[in-house]
Amino acid sequence: MEIKYAIHPEDAKSYDTSRLRKEFHSDSLMIEDSIKLVYTHYDRFIYGGICPKQKRLALPTYDELKSDYFLERRELGVINVGGTGKVTVDGEAYTLENLNVLYVGKGKKELVFESADPGNPAKFYLNSSPAHKEYPTVKATRKEANRVDLGTPESCNERVIFQFIHEAGIQSCQLVMGYTELKEGSIWNTFPPHTHGRRMEVYFYFDLPENQVVMHFMGHPQETRHLAIKNEEAAVSPPWSIHAGAGTASYKFVWGMAGENKAFTDMDGVPLNEIL
């Protein structure tokens, strides 16, 4: 499991492209018949991909967690961004079709991931945060999400937010998770931008055509930088950073957060004339 450390915004000002990508970017998250996870010290959040093709993949624990099993002190959310698959939680199976979501609470010991069709494998994107209370396992479909329509065609940021794990939806200790889908002709996400000093966030971009890119903007609002992100890659957003992107083609992205609260609307907007 890769480890990323927390960075002071004053230090981030001096980073060149390679250092910025090392600290805040993750590529190749979906590797067939493999599990690839990343642990960031921002709110001790874990994100990554589980992509079973021929194999059934069991989620292990890791030396860095110092726990007998992965969810001993954690909770997790899974969004399937590939073909139909199945997640078995302590013997109970949940079938996840494309864009279905599964929340698994603290205390579950065995999670096994598999695909229904090796020719069209499932791609399970995972977010996990520390937890102090056990909540029940819940599966949700797109129709069961809380839908929020934002943006305008004139601003090229018309998009739909699908909220799954949040304070008025699937209950969790501190994990908040869902995905955003841009409407045809729009390229901007989360713009005008914001920060939220009470929570960190990770963006996972997917359904982006080959050889296309999303320019993900990050950094303190008065000291912005960018990461060039391709399909099935992710960007870590510290609490002090904006997190917004513009794509060269249509795309979707999963957002996952953890921190002091679960209030989706707890954000500090940044006027466009203050962005530098």
pLDDT attached to residue 265: 86
Interatomic CA distance for residues 170 and 145, integer angstroms: 9
pLDDT one-digit tens code per residue, 186-208: 999 998 999 999 999 999 999 99
Interatomic CA distance for residues 211 and 85, integer angstroms: 27
Interatomic CA distance for residues 221 and 229, integer angstroms: 20
Residue for token digits 């864009």?
Answer: 99
CA angle (151, 156, 159) in 5-degree steps? 40
Task: Tell me the chain's radius of gyration from C-alpha atoms.
Answer: 18
Interatomic CA distance for residues 226 and 205, integer angstroms: 15
Strand pairing report for 223-229 and 214-220: antiparallel
**Domain 14-274 class in CATH:** mainly beta
pLDDT one-digit tens code per residue, 84-113: 999 999 999 999 999 999 999 999 999 999
Residue for token digits 């199945």?
Answer: 86
Tokens matching residue 3? 């480890």
pLDDT attached to residue 45: 98
pLDDT attached to residue 137: 98
Q: What is the pTM assigned to this prediction?
A: 0.96
Interatomic CA distance for residues 140 and 268, integer angstroms: 29
Interatomic CA distance for residues 253 and 271, integer angstroms: 23
pLDDT attached to residue 263: 87
Interatomic CA distance for residues 213 and 102, integer angstroms: 28
Secondary element (H or E) of residue 9: helix 9-12
pLDDT attached to residue 125: 98
Low-confidence ranges of the chain (pLDDT < 70): none
Residue for token digits 């609490």?
Answer: 239
| Residue 121 Cα to chain centre, angstroms | 20
